[in-house]
Amino acid sequence: MLVWLTLSVLNGSMVKTFLKHSFFYDDPRYIMFICMVINDTIQLTLVTTLYVVSYVFFKILASVCCPLVMTAVLTTRATPLILAGMAVERYLAICFPLHYQQICTISRTLLLVAVVLFLSAAMPLTDLFITLAKEPVAVFRESVFCDQYQLFRDRAIYYKNCAFDIVYFSFVFLTLLFTYCKIMLAARAASSDLVSVRKARNTVLLHGFQLLLCLLAFVVPSLQAPLIALFPRFGVEIRYINFLLVYIIPRFLSPMIYGFRDEKFRKYWARHITCHTQRVRPALKFTQR
């Protein structure tokens, strides 16, 4: 809960910084970045809620669990697609600087965000439709352990998700690989502005590392059950470590990629945090008196 609170405050300060300065609205990469931050905040809040619920109540009504799980799956699936979009934006900025303004417009950026949400929602919605087609509605009045695979139990859903994941992550991986190679070629050919090219290359590398962390969300859960079976005395610890690896650590990268590395955003973000801290300190002194 402490990690969730810390990240929520951090991400909330970034969203507030973005909203307070209208010139960020005219830059596609900052729009996609703030979408990533909001998506990660919602996803982290939902999975933390599900994690706490699993310990406090263990089982809850399936009708309550369903929207929580579906939204958590949607936000989890949206992260790699936003990463791919951000990598393509950096590729266009470096390799096509003269045509960047015409290609990366605000309307196209918002359309891309809408497409990402649509594609991310497709999988949990199809899971729900398959369950409604094959299971009686009374299933949603039962108490279940709130987990995606406990809620959507049909075997066809499992095979469908495996096929979807292979296509999904292959597309994102190939997109990141393509943009990285193109930026590397641009770096070799560039005679000026090598700093921008180097930053773009490092950003795509960080996106690739973040994608690998996102893959843990689909690999680790399948390893969790065998590990708990081998070490039943450490079941709680295994679940907790998996939770940190899969959901907590990847959420630290989004603030680092743009919040700390981007000089323009960092300047206004630091100013916002400093002003907020200066307001809080006099209030604390007054309370102590």
Residue 95 lies in a domain: yes
**What CA–CA distance (Å, rounded) separates 218 from 199?**
30
What is the DSSP annotation of 11-56?
HHHHHHHHHH-GGGGG-HHHHHHHHHHHHHHHHHHHHHHHHHHHHH
Q: Give domain status of residue 117, yes or no.
A: yes
Q: Do residues 211 and 173 touch, judged by C-beta distance below 8 A? A: yes
**CB-side neighbour CA atoms (13 Å) of 166:** 5
Task: Decide the pairing of beta strands 143-145 and 59-61.
Answer: antiparallel
Residue 284 is assigned to a structural domain of this protein: no
Q: Which domain holds residue 245?
A: 2-274
- Domain annotation covers residue 204: yes
* Element at 59 (helix H, strand E): strand 59-61
Burial group, residue 230, by CB count within 10 angstroms (0-12, 13-18, 19+): exposed
Find the angle CA(236)-CA(242)-CA(243) to the nearest 5 degrees: 90
Q: What is the chain's pLDDT, residue by residue, as a tens digit (289 residues)?
A: 787 888 888 888 888 889 888 888 888 988 998 998 899 889 888 888 887 887 787 788 888 888 988 998 898 888 888 888 888 888 888 888 888 888 889 999 999 999 999 999 988 999 999 988 888 888 888 888 887 777 888 888 888 888 888 888 888 888 888 888 887 787 777 655 567 777 777 777 777 777 777 777 666 666 766 777 788 787 777 777 777 777 777 777 666 666 777 778 888 888 877 776 555 455 445 445 5
Answer yes or no: are the C-beta atoms of 24 and 279 closer than 8 Å.
Answer: no
Residue with tokens 């096509």: 96
Query: Domain with 146 in it: what CATH number?
Result: 1.20.1070.10
Report the alpha-carbon distance of residue 146 to residue 54 in Å, rounded.
7
Pairwise CA distance, residues 15 & 173, whole Å: 28
Tokens of 87: 């990598």
CA distance 116 to 137: 30
Number of folded domains in the chain? 1
Cα 14 off chain centre by:
15
Taking the complete model, does pTM exceed 0.95, yes or no?
no
- 67-85 core/surface letters (b: 16 or more CB in 10 A; e: else): ebbbbbbbbbbbbbbbbbb
Q: Is residue 280 part of a domain?
A: no
Nearest to 30 by CA among 267, 196, 274, 262: 262
The answer to whether residue 184 sits within a structural domain is: yes
Question: How many Å separate Cα 4 from the centre of its chain?
Answer: 14
Asked if the structure places residue 240 within a domain, the reply is yes
As a whole number of angstroms, the distance between CA 241 and CA 175 comes to 30
φ and ψ of 144, to 5 deg? -135, 160
Give domain status of residue 220, yes or no: yes
